Chain A
């Protein structure tokens, strides 16, 4: 199935290898960064809601920060 690339096989295969590797790298890094940020925001907003509930009950300042960091 592999086409006969003749004497230029090294150049052609290197071009495909480099390109696919770079495209895969930027795609995977973007997806991982997106997941990490989404999880961090979800945790922070969940903590913030908990913190708001607690601070409404106890009226203790600083709870939001602690919940977000936790």
Chain B
């Protein structure tokens, strides 16, 4: 079976319809376990005190804010190259979800930064590129809403997505590129020496799993909505033409 078979809306609806109840259940389980574990059963950090508990929201949401845009980049490229409508609709469906995660990362970052750095905001490379990424999300959604013809909207938003990918990558690697600013280095890395202590690491992994599953569930749900909305438009057009 090829991956391209899911570009067929009927097949996509069938597969995601069957997967969604399981995804919701797994999402609720991971978020409930991860957040309860992190909030109630982990100690304070010796330097940051209880503010370390914000890590269970800030890191997963920042991770998903960036990765949602990268997912949109892949689906936008598929649209531009292979013209599969489901991929364009999936990118459109993912944007509000990615914007929400990015907003959560910005808000929790400010709430963490104020007591630790003494400021809500700093024009630090990582923070600034993340803010620009959020603005790109808003611009992307506005562009979809502003253009009547769905194929033209998909074309133009795909190009915008390519441009915005620069900031998605910058917000992840700004620290490496500029090596300055208030923001600390990566909390998570394949290099074990950079990771947080195990007592924070395990509940954080469960929270990240919960955020990933929530993203997938919401994108499936919203893509299904977009496919139905597209079908409604097609039926309305057909009815108008037969009436004319």
Contact = CB atoms under 8 A, between A and B. Distances in A.
Interface of A: 1, 3-9, 11-12, 14-16, 18-19, 22-23, 25-27, 30-31, 33-34, 37-38, 40-41, 44-45, 48, 61-62, 64-65, 68
B115 interface: yes
B228 to A, nearest CB: 5
B100 A11 contact: no
B57 A19 contact: yes
Contacts of A31: 221
Interface in B88-111: 96-97, 100, 103-104, 107-108, 111
Given A30-B222, A38-B228, A62 B242 contact: yes
A41 B115 contact: no
A48 B89 CA distance: 25
B53 A12 contact: yes
Contact of A65 (B103, B225, B240): B240
A15 B57 contact: yes
A41 B96 contact: no
Interface of B: 35, 39-40, 44, 49-51, 53-54, 57-58, 61, 96-97, 100, 103-104, 107-108, 111-112, 114-115, 214, 218, 221-222, 224-225, 228-229, 231-232, 235-236, 238-240, 242-243
Given A30-B225, A65-B242, A19 B107 contact: yes
A11 B49 CA distance: 11
Nearest to B31: A23
A34 to B, nearest CB: 5
A44 B237 CA distance: 12
Given A3-B40, A41-B231, A18 B104 contact: yes
Contacts of A30: 97, 218, 221-222, 225
A64 B107 CA distance: 49
Contacts of A68: 235-236, 239
